[in-house]
A = this chain, B = another copy of it.
């Protein structure tokens, strides 16, 4: 989707300290960069806070700061990540995302053209997800005091009252479903960063999942848990689910979709694809008898075309994730201890 933001003349082409000082240049930045992209009935009031009408019910509230480098990568920007990541956090918790805030930390000298591109990408992502950016803040720090741009988004969603999702809900016998291939986001960042140009066909999976997740929950409200495997990848999410529910999880290596070029990059860099961050995938744990129906709904969406069952919940080896490998052996899928892929989101 192309967004047309009118661009009045700016007096500077890079971020100045005064753009964050609350004075005239702050107002100029707001009026000339952010307002044209994010314009909506709440933000346009330019008050210190958005005043929101919510339908009655419980709400979900979440926050994430995005520090990804580089801030432009195949398949997205730090801005699309900041919108989609927080939208997805809300969606996997069983809420319909409605409103986001956006808090920017900018390094003095950051190109205003880049900031405009990032703001536009956020506006497009918000529109695609059906959410509004209703509150914002911008701070500027001296050159060298931050690496370009960091963005915090916090989000409010309306909790569905027809579902009960929790990482403590897993039951032996449940099926583990995965909405598509793993490792695309992390490997797109790594190859962009390392200049591995022969792997340039890798593109981030960055996407909002709230429409697909809402459709799954509409038809399969008995889903036990959902998570998006971002930092720490599928391995971290499955371990967290196993520990929280005091159950074991068995997965099948050959069932987990990994694109050839992603697998190649992982092998080159010595990284397990299960530890790599995804930004447009989710894991759903559902009663076995509901698995086929849930997969059917997921596959109706572009982002869920490759959805597959990858394993099941067991009463054995509580708190542990065990994988049957392609060679037929079994190995424990552990949490990544260290930081293999810094600043991936």
Additional pairs, 5, CB under 8 Å, beyond known A52-B60, A62-B101, A101-B154:
A22-B277, A22-B336, A48-B89, A52-B59, A54-B59
A256 to chain B, nearest CB (A): 19
Question: Are A156 and B61 in contact, with the CB atoms below 8 A?
Answer: yes
Question: Are A338 and B23 in contact, with the CB atoms below 8 A?
Answer: yes
**Cα separation A244 to B62 with both chains bound (whole Å):** 32
Question: Are B23 and A236 in contact, with the CB atoms below 8 A?
Answer: yes
Interface residue SS majority, chain A: mixed
Question: Are A335 and B47 in contact, with the CB atoms below 8 A?
Answer: no
Scan residues 17-45 of chain A and give those whose CB is less than 8 A from a CB of chain B.
Answer: 17-18, 20-27, 45
A86 to chain B, nearest CB (A): 9
Which residue of chain B is the closest to A54 with respect to CB atoms? B59
Question: Are B139 and A93 in contact, with the CB atoms below 8 A?
Answer: no
Question: Are A61 and B49 in contact, with the CB atoms below 8 A?
Answer: yes
Contact with B along A79-92 (1 / 0, CB 8 A): 00000000001101
In the complex, chain B residues whose CB is within 8 Å of the CB of A204: none
Contact of A60 among B49, B61, B154, B232 (CB under 8 A): B49
A70 to chain B, nearest CB (A): 13
